Amino acid sequence: MPLLADTQAQNDALEAAWPGMVEGAKVLDWEGTTLKEGDNGYTCMATPPTMVGTAPMCLDPVWMEWGMAWQNREPFEADSIGIAYMLAGDEGASNVDPYAEGPTEDNEWIKEGPHLMLIAPAGLLDAFPTDPHNGGPYLMWKGTDYQHLMIPVGARE
């Protein structure tokens, strides 16, 4: 029987997914413990324990590789397209610095509502704007190994 904290973490993690994905998604806690087995290729994780607010995410295998590289500050180069879901939105991140821990005058801090994220080989993303206020998709962390396309699908809070 899962602990209450595990159930809460699982419920939080699955808030990132679209309804058709929930049943088959694997759920991990931030220590890598499996809270729910899955078979659809997506891994969902609850809001990181160091964050206040919400930021759960569901990642496909390409995004899982990206996440490991980002966490360990290792190089990453996408060799195919990857899709991630953050349908509960997030509590904020810098649009230019992958490791910023809070807003500053020059790091373009943005709190995003429900969104998808897409990674692809770098050249496929070059034409997208970086302005998060343009009313559509924008490239986050441009020029870094962790750049990705943010695709808003709902209103920001």
pLDDT in tens, 30-46: 788 899 999 999 999 99
| Res 1 pLDDT > 70 | no
pTM: 0.91
The amino acid that residue 91 corresponds to is E
Q: Which long-range contacts (CB under 8 A, 24 or more apart) does 66-70 make?
A: 66/119, 66/146, 66/148, 69/145, 69/146, 70/98, 70/146
* Token digits of residue 107: 């790091």
Q: Is residue 50 part of a domain?
A: yes
Q: Which residue, 59, 93, 109, sits at the end of a domain?
A: 59
Q: Which domain holds residue 132?
A: 78-157
Split into its structural domains, the chain has a count of 2
Q: Is residue 73 part of a domain?
A: no
Judgement on whether residues 106 and 34 belong to the same structural domain of the protein: no
Judgement on whether residues 37 and 109 belong to the same structural domain of the protein: no
pLDDT in the model for residue 28: 92
